[in-house]
Chain A
Amino acid sequence: MHDDSLRVWRESPVFKAVCRAEMDELRASTPSVQAAIIATADGFDVADVCSDKRYSPARLSAMASSMMALAGAVAKEADYPDCGSLIVESSGGKTIMMSLPGTDGRLVLLVIADNSTPFGMLLMNGRQCAHRIQQRLNLTSDSNN
């Protein structure tokens, strides 16, 4: 009845370590990134790299799951099949949320960045990070069940 793949991902040290390593790589290649978090679709934090303690991975994970679910509902209302990513633009910076490829939307990558990196580059680097996680963990839709 429960989503066992999500639970396995939440509890796997290897999974968490790979996610952290790739998010560290994202921060190294994109200095504007202040925090990156992998969250489950039902709002639990799996792994995070944060520049300081003002960010709460638990709280941000719950918010990311709500936001992606709402964005998915908007996409459905517009007759689109899914929602791949969501962007929050602010004078203080940008936040990107995107479904991790190969997880059928069950995992979300959240990236918080200041405005020092051009948006296109931030988005591209975030997507590359998500794809690297997918490749290293061999995530496919078939592996979800």
Chain B
Amino acid sequence: MSSEHKIIFAGPTGAGKTTAISQISEKPPVSTDVANSDLRYGKATTTVAIDFGELALDGGEKLRLYGVPGQHRFSFIWEIAARGALGVILIADNTLEDPMEELQFYLQGFDSFVQRGAAVVVVNRLETHPYPAEEDYVKMLMDRGTPLPVMACDPRKKDDVLTVLDVLLTVC
């Protein structure tokens, strides 16, 4: 196994990808956030290319952390960023009207990882929006024939994000 791994963070706009990477990166992440003019999203800035962070693990392995934009118009960059990646963390935003339906787009976009089980589904904001529950995501993934680990996670909490990474590295 290589001592350096590339990990992708993907999911809808505002799901917490940039936050997750900034929590665990040992250096200030490379940011490509710009002013947001899209009224559909209640945020001042948005990522338009990649976030990039780095993390060294206790065993000497290094992780390169890539966050990709959530908007569909930037899906061209997913394939570029995903080349050579070990696995993908798909972050669902439970505040969305239909978060599981929204997640389908990202499951399809990273299908090669999903099909070989090199992905983890993370559910954000479960504490304020408990439905769909983790079990619902598990069932949905089973029904589509792509069972994956599903975890609740607050991307603002470093320990939460590190736990997700640990699970991803275990299944990859």
Contact = CB atoms under 8 A, between A and B. Distances in A.
B163 interface: no
30 contacts: A2-B36, A2-B38, A2-B44, A3-B44, A6-B35, A6-B37, A7-B37, A41-B34, A41-B35, A42-B37, A42-B38, A42-B46, A42-B48, A43-B48, A43-B71, A43-B73, A44-B37, A59-B73, A59-B76, A62-B73, A62-B76, A65-B34, A65-B48, A69-B32, A69-B34, A69-B48, A70-B32, A72-B32, A73-B32, A106-B34
Interface in B28-53: 30-39, 42-44, 46, 48-50
Interface of A: 1-4, 6-7, 10, 40-44, 58-59, 62-63, 65-67, 69-70, 72-73, 77, 105-106
Contacts of B35: 3, 6, 41-42, 106
Given A1-B42, A43-B71, A43-B73, A66 B37 contact: no
For the complex of A and B, 3 pairs with smallest distance between CB atoms: A6-B37, A69-B32, A3-B35
Nearest to B43: A1
* Chain A interface, >50% SS class: helix
A7 B36 CA distance: 9
Contacts of B77: 66
B74 interface: yes
B51 to A, nearest CB: 10
Contacts of A43: 48, 71, 73-74
